[in-house]
Structure 1
Amino acid sequence: VPATVDALQPVINIVVLQLLSYHLTVLRGLDVDQPRNLAKSITVTEEILPA
């Protein structure tokens, strides 16, 4: 991880950790696009009725 300004260090660390987790998942033979225990989400919109 390259040295940088203290304020940007967490952002760089996040990118490195995301790449590490991606490559570990691929090495384990898992599908990175289909994580387990991920439920479908449903977006509910509220309809405004005229008065």
Structure 2
Amino acid sequence: MSLKSASRTMELISPLVNVVLLQLPAYETAARLGLDVGQPRNLAKSVTVE
């Protein structure tokens, strides 16, 4: 694998890694506040199922 292709791979994967890294503190914060992390509020208003 060349340096150029490795750089491109990291460019494609880094957003996924960042999402996970940001979701972990959000999950921990919600859990510590006693919020139901499996049932977000206003979910029914935001998501429609056909």
* Partner of residue 30, structure 1: 35
Identical positions, percent: 45
Give TM-score, length-normalised by structure 1.
0.59
The alignment yields a C-alpha RMSD, in angstroms, of: 2.1
What are the within-5 Å matches in structure 2 for residues 1-51 of structure 1?
5-39=10-44, 41-43=48-50
Instruction: Say if 1:9 and 1:42 are closer, same or farther in 2 by CA, change over 3 A.
Output: closer
Structure 1: runs of 5 or more not aligned: 44-51
Considering only CA atoms, is the larger Rg found in Structure 1 or Structure 2? 1
Aligned length: 40
TM-score, normalised on structure 2? 0.60
Structure scoring higher RCO (CA < 8 A, sep ≥ 6) equals 1
Residue 29 of structure 1: how far off its partner (Å): 0.7
Q: Shift in Å at residue 41 of structure 1?
A: 2.9
**Inter-partner Cα distance in structure 2 for 1:12 and 1:19:** 11
